Structure 1
Amino acid sequence: MNAGTGEAPRFTPVWDLFVRIFHWSVAAAFGAAYVSSDDGGTVHHVLGYAVLALVALRIAWGFVGSYHARFTNFVPSPREFAQYSRAMRAGRERRYLGHNPAGAVMIIALLILLTATGATGWLLTTNVFWGSEAVEALHEASANAILVCVVLHVGGVLLTSWRHRENLVGAMLTGRKRND
């Protein structure tokens, strides 16, 4: 019930099916690739290529997808991000129906890191970079940076869910968020 009105809360579609499938698929594929990295062989490679394919599709969807999926509708300017960050530290950030500026920056960072990890992984399979310690170090550093970002992302989701009294994990499952 909405406070004071006696009405059930209204929900609106936010995350389309592609965004939700991408989100959970890339999380599963990257997680499985990371876990299989020591002796994963072909499985590790296939999972890495799957992540790259998913990222390529998400980038395309960022230009042609639904309203909340388009980069033009959620990527903040540096000034907007700084203002949001200050408001967040003060506990006064506004609620967004789509991605907030911190979430948007995290998406961009993750897309870049996933691309870097996949590209360096592929380079390691080529004749030119086979056995390159520098490329392998960059591949591992990118993958580990993704893990750091995932921890920050989950923490941000939990904090935002608590502050705005909404279940963001549920929203990424159903595609709907509270309309108020």
Structure 2
Amino acid sequence: MNTMSTSRADAAAAAGAPAAQPAARRILVWDAPVRIVHWLLVLCFAGAWLTAESETLRLVHVTLGYTMAGLVVFRLLWGLAGTRHARFASFVRGPGAALRYLRSLVSRHPDHHTGHNPAGALAILALLGGMLVLVASGWANYNDIGGEWTEELHEAIASGLLALVIVHVLAVLASSWLHRENLVGAMLHGRKPVPAADGIGTPRRAVGALVLACVLGFWWWQWQHAPAALADGHPAATQRHHGDDDD
């Protein structure tokens, strides 16, 4: 059936004006496990930092630390067997590629990457590795292994990670502005304005739900089976540190 109506694009073309470009579709890039682990790590690190000096919240601090370790281990495994842009092989490129990307940012013509950019990839590896060392040093300090130097090491690593997190957040905001895309939002809903061929086929929601269920189950188990002294906020480790003050 013929119609007498004319689209705006056709009218613009007939008048010699350039047609408006269609809006880019948002394509699924980040699967559910990547997004859930990312935000759980944010929660665990922030919570552990805020409860580090509190004896009454010692159980929360310890639980968040153990959770962080489990999440990092899962993310490392998912980086080998996960979806396209979750795999380390798809975005880890080395210092040279990271420097080229940073130079492109300075020139205000940044190279676009569907997944993590090379500089962000190195930051992610540093954060994951640092979190494992942080938890290991915290475990050693809590179990009185290595003396006071483990406590100092734990605090130093935590401070270093906090600085790296701040740099990472600032870099994400700068990249969002330069790329004209909301990278924080993409890590929430998993979608970015990229060609359809660059997307992933499935969000793997079942795996993400399993990760979340394991974390919540571990938290419940910790609360139900924690030693009474730890649950009351008076673990042996803290009593050991305060014992010298009474002399």
| Structure possessing the higher radius of gyration over alpha carbons | 2
Distance 2:19 2:50 in 1: 49
Which amino acid in structure 2 is aligned with residue 16 of structure 1?
Answer: D
Give the match for residue 93 of structure 2.
Answer: 76
Indicate the residue corresponding to 1:160 in structure 2: 175
Could you tell me how far 1:89 is from its partner in structure 2? 2.3
- The answer to whether structure 1 residue 26 and structure 2 residue 54 are counterparts is no
Report the 3-state secondary structure (helix = DSSP H, G, I; strand = E; otherwise coil) of the residue aligned with 2:109.
coil
Describe how 1:107-118 pairs up with structure 2 within 5 A.
Answer: 107-118=124-135
Q: Structure 2 CA distance, aligned partners of 1:78 and 1:146?
A: 20
In the other structure, the counterpart of 2:223 is: none
Q: Counterparts of 2:185 and 2:37 in 1: how far apart (Å)?
A: 15
Three-state SS of the structure 1 residue aligned to 2:127 is helix
Number of paired residues?
176
Match of 1:170 in 2: 185
Identical positions, percent: 42
Conserved? CA contact 2:176–2:182, under 8 Å = yes
Contact kept, 8 Å, 2:110 with 2:179, in 1: the verdict is no
In the alignment, the residues of structure 2 paired with residue 22 and residue 152 of structure 1 have an alpha-carbon distance, to the nearest angstrom, of 20
How far apart, in 2, do the equivalents of 1:6 and 1:19 lie?
32
Gaps of 5+ in 1: none
1:55-74 equivalences under 5 Å are 55-74=72-91
> CA-to-partner distance for each residue in 1:9-64, whole Å, 9 max, x for gaps?
21111110000000100000110011000123121111100000100100110110
- Bigger RCO (CA 8 Å, 6+ sep): 2
- Distance in 2, Cα, partners of 1:165 & 1:152: 19
* 1:103-126 deviation per Cα after TM superposition (whole angstroms, max 9, x unaligned): 101101100111111110011123
What is the CA–CA distance in structure 2 between the aligned matches of 1:4 and 1:24, rounded to whole Å? 41
The question of whether the paired residues in 1 share the 8 Å contact of 2:84 and 2:90 is answered with yes
What amino acid is aligned across from residue 41 of structure 1 in structure 2? R
| Contact kept? 2:94, 2:122, Cα under 8 Å | no
What's the TM-score once normalised by structure 2's chain length? 0.68
Inter-partner Cα distance in structure 2 for 1:82 and 1:177: 24
Q: Which residue of 1 aligns with 2:142?
A: 125
**2:103 & 2:19 partners in 1: Cα distance?**
31
Q: TM-score, normalised by structure 1?
A: 0.92
Which residue of the partner structure matches residue 35 of structure 1?
Answer: 50
SS at match of 2:24: coil
1:138 aligns with 2:153: yes
Return closer, same or farther for 1:25/1:4 CA change in 2, 3 Å cut-off.
farther
- Separation in structure 2 between the aligned mates of residue 146 and residue 7 of structure 1, nearest angstrom: 42
The whole-number CA distance in structure 2 between the counterparts of 1:106 and 1:120 is: 21
Take 1:86 and 1:160, find their aligned partners in 2: how far apart are those partners? Answer: 13
Equivalent-residue separation in structure 1 for 2:127 and 2:43 (angstroms): 14
User: What residue is the counterpart of 1:91 in the other structure?
Assistant: 108
Relative to structure 1, the CA distance from residue 38 to residue 87 in structure 2 (aligned partners, 3 Å threshold; closer, same or farther) is same
Q: Which stretches of structure 1, 4 residues or longer, exceed 3 Å deviation after superposition?
A: 3-6
Q: State the 1:88 CA deviation.
A: 2.1
Mapped pair 1:149 → 2:164: yes
Q: For the residues of structure 2 that align with 1:128 and 1:148, how far apart are their CA atoms? A: 27
| Counterparts of 1:5 and 1:103, CA distance in 2 | 33
